[in-house]
Amino acid sequence: MLNQILFAAALLITLGVFAFTANRYYKLFKLTRPAFPVRDFGKRFLLMLNVALGQTKMFRKPFTGAMHALVFWGFCVILIGSIEMVIDGLWGVERSLKVLGVLHDIIMASGDIFALIVAIAIVVFLGRRLFIHVKRFEGIEMKHISHLDAKVALSIILLLMLTLLGMNTSYVAHNTLLGEEVFGVYPVSQFFAQYFSGFSADTLHIHHEIHWWAHILLIFFFANLLPYSKHFHVFMSVPNVFLSRLEPLGKLPNMDSVTREVKLMMDPNTAFAAAPADAPIERFGVKDAEDASWKNYLDSLACTECGRCTSVCPANITGKKLSPRKIVMDLRARMKEKSKGLLKEGKTFDDGRSLIRDFISEEELWACTTCNACAQECPININHPTLIIDMRRYLVMEEGSAPGELKATFNNIENNGAPWQYSPQDRLVWAEGLEMNKI
C-alpha cells in the first residue's frame, strides 16, 4: 500500500509539472500567427507513417540512420512496457498486461531485445560525440550547452535501458529460483539471469525493486526534462511530420493581406473577403518570434539539431554565414528569451531586441538561395525557407532594406515594368543591324 501511495504521488507530481509546461507552450503558440489550414488527414497520416514512424529520411545516412531508427522503434515498443509499469504501480499488481497472453509475450520479448539494441546504439552515439569529430555537430550555433544537453540525454536513455534490463533479469531470476511462473518472454534477460543463480530470493527481489523504481522515476524525470531540451523532438517530431506542408517544397506561401489588396485592385468587385475596417494593422513578414507562424515555432521545438540541413546548404558549404539549423534554433531561443514578457503582457511586450539582427543577421537571410535542400534533407520535415522568406519580407516591405542588386531590380520593375534597366521600347535595340535567319 505504501508503494502505491508513493507511486501515485510521484505520478501526480510528474503530470502536474508536465501540464504546467504544456500549458505554457500552448499560450506561446496562441501568440504566433496562423499558418495554413490542416486538411487532407489521409495524406498526412501516410506521410507520418513513412517519414516519422518509418524513419525513411534517416536512412540517407545508412549506418547512423539505421541505429537511430532502431532506437526510435525500440522506444515505441518499450513505451508499452512503461504503460504496464504505471498500471502495476497504481494497482499494486505485477505484469498487469499478462492478460493479453501471446501478445504480451511478443511485446515483452521485443522490449527486452530492443533494450539491449538501444543501449548498444546509445553507447555508439556517445562515443561519436566524445571521441569522433563530426563536422555537422559543430557550428557557431552549437554552444557548449547544446553538446552537454545531448550527452546528458543520451546518458539518461542508456540508464533507462540498463535499469529495464536489470529489472527484467532480476524478475526472471527471482521467479525461476522460486519455481513461480514468469509472465512474458525475455530472451536477453533470460541469458543474463543465469549469472544471478547464486543470489537469494530476497536479494533478487531487492534488486528488482531498485531497478523498477529507478526505471520508472527516470522516465518521469526524463519526460519533464525533454521540453527544456533539444531532445524535445522525442515528443514533437511525429506531430511535426503530420502537420507538414503538403505543397511542393519550391512553392512559397503568399501573404493573405497582399493577395487581398492585389485582387481588390485588379477587380474591385471581387468576392475575395476584405479585411474588417477595425482590424489591427498587420506586420508584413517576421521581425520577432511572435510574428512567426505556429508551424515555424513547432519546427523550432521539433528540431533535433542534427545539422543535416546545414551540411547540404550550398550557401554554408561555400563559406557564407547562413546555417539553416541556426535559423530554426534562433527562433526557439528568441521565443524562450521573450516568453516571460509575452505571457505577462501579450504581443505589446517589447524588450528592445528582436529576432532579426539581435539573433539573425541580414547577411544570413540574403545568403539563402531558396533551393530547399535543407527542407528536403530534414528528417522531420522542417521547412526553413518559409521562415527565411518571411524575415526577408519584413526587411523589404517594412524597412525597405535589401542588397543593392535587389534594390536596382525593384526600381526597374517599378519604372520599366520588368527587372531590366531598359524601357519596353528599347529592349530590342541590341538586335538592330543583326541578320536574322528566317525559319
Rounded average pLDDT over 245-271: 81
* Cell numbers representing residue 262 in the block: 492585389
pLDDT > 90 fraction of the chain, expressed in percent and rounded = 72
Domain membership of residue 37 (yes or no) is yes
- Joined together, the cell numbers standing for residue 32 give 504566433
The answer to whether residue 175 is domain-embedded is: yes
Torsion angle of C-alpha atoms 86, 90, 95, 98, degrees rounded to 10:
-90
- Structural domain contains residue 46: yes
CA neighbor of 301 nearest in space, from 21, 25, 20, 33 = 25
What pLDDT shows up at residue 267?
78
Which residue's entry shows cell 489591427?
280
Cβ burial, residue 326 (10 Å; 0-12/13-18/19+): buried
* 263 & 215 share domain: no
130 and 194 share one domain? yes
Average pLDDT over residues 97-103: 93
Closest CA to 61 of 119, 135, 111: 135
- Look at residue 367 and give its three-state secondary structure: helix
pLDDT single digits (tens) 415-430: 888 888 888 888 788 7
If you average pLDDT over every residue of the chain, what do you get? 91
Q: Which helix (H) or strand (E) holds 60?
A: none
Grid cell for residue 116: 539491449
Within this chain, do residues 134 and 172 fall inside the same structural domain, yes or no? yes
**Reported confidence tier of residue 269, pLDDT bands at 50, 70, 90:** confident
Asked whether the predicted pLDDT for residue 110 surpasses 70, the reply is yes
- Are residues 70 and 121 in contact, defined by beta-carbon separation less than 8 angstroms? yes
326 close to 140: Cβ distance less than 8 angstroms: yes
Query: Are 140 and 223 in a shared domain?
Result: yes
pLDDT band per the 50, 70, 90 thresholds, residue 271:
low
pLDDT at 263: 79
Span 354-391, pLDDT tens digits: 999 999 999 999 999 999 999 999 999 999 999 999 99
| Model pLDDT, residue 85 | 94
The reply to whether 205 and 312 lie within a common domain is no
The contacts of residue 410 (CB under 8 Å, 6+ apart) are: 396, 402
Q: What percentage of the chain exceeds 70 in pLDDT?
A: 96
- Per-residue pLDDT at 221 exceeds 80: yes
Q: Evaluate whether residue 122 is within a structural domain.
A: yes
Are 276 and 322 part of one and the same domain? yes
CA distances to 290, 293, 342, 347 from 31, in Å? 6, 9, 8, 7
Helices and strands counted in the chain (H then E): 18, 0
Average pLDDT over residues 245-270: 82
CATH number reported for the structural domain that contains residue 51 in this entry: 1.20.950
C-alpha cell at 56: 525513411
Q: Are 228 and 266 in a shared domain?
A: no
Residues 362 and 409 in one domain: yes
Tell me: do 136 and 268 sit in the same domain: no
Whole-number pLDDT of residue 437: 61
Domain region containing 326? 256-420
3-state secondary structure of 360: strand
Q: Quick check: 273 pLDDT over 60?
A: no
Q: Which residues contact 18 (CB under 8 A, 6 or more apart)?
A: 223, 224, 227
The reported pLDDT for the residue numbered 426 is: 81
Q: Which residues of 109-129 are buried (b: 16+ CB within 10 A; e: fewer)?
A: bbbbbbbbbbbebbeebbeee
Please indicate, yes or no, if residue 388 is contained in any of the structural domains.
Answer: yes
Residues 12-54 pLDDT 10s: 999 999 999 999 999 999 999 998 889 999 999 999 999 999 9
Which grid cell sits at 152? Answer: 546528458
- Number of structural domains, the chain? 2
Mean local confidence (pLDDT), 95-116: 94
Residues 225 and 300 both lie in one domain: no
First to last CA, the chain: 96
Residue 436 pLDDT greater than 70, yes or no: no
Residue 367: predicted pLDDT: 96
Question: Is 279 a residue whose pLDDT tops 70?
Answer: no
Domain-embedded: residue 244: no
Kindly report which listed range (50-54, 193-197, 216-220, 382-386) carries the lowest average pLDDT score: 193-197
Q: Give residue 406's pLDDT.
A: 87
In a domain, 341, yes or no: yes
76 and 225 both lie in a single domain: yes
Q: Max alpha carbon distance in the chain (Å)? A: 105
Q: Return the pLDDT at 262.
A: 79
Residue 65 forms part of a structural domain: yes
CATH number of the domain that 265 lies in? 1.10.1060.10
∠314-315-317 over CA atoms, to 5°? 60
**pLDDT computed for residue 206 by the predictor:** 95
C-alpha cell at position 418: 520588368
Co-location of 134 and 214 in the same domain = yes
- If one counts every other C-beta atom within 10 angstroms of the C-beta of residue 433, the result is 6
Model-level pTM greater than 0.85? Answer: yes
pLDDT score for 272: 56
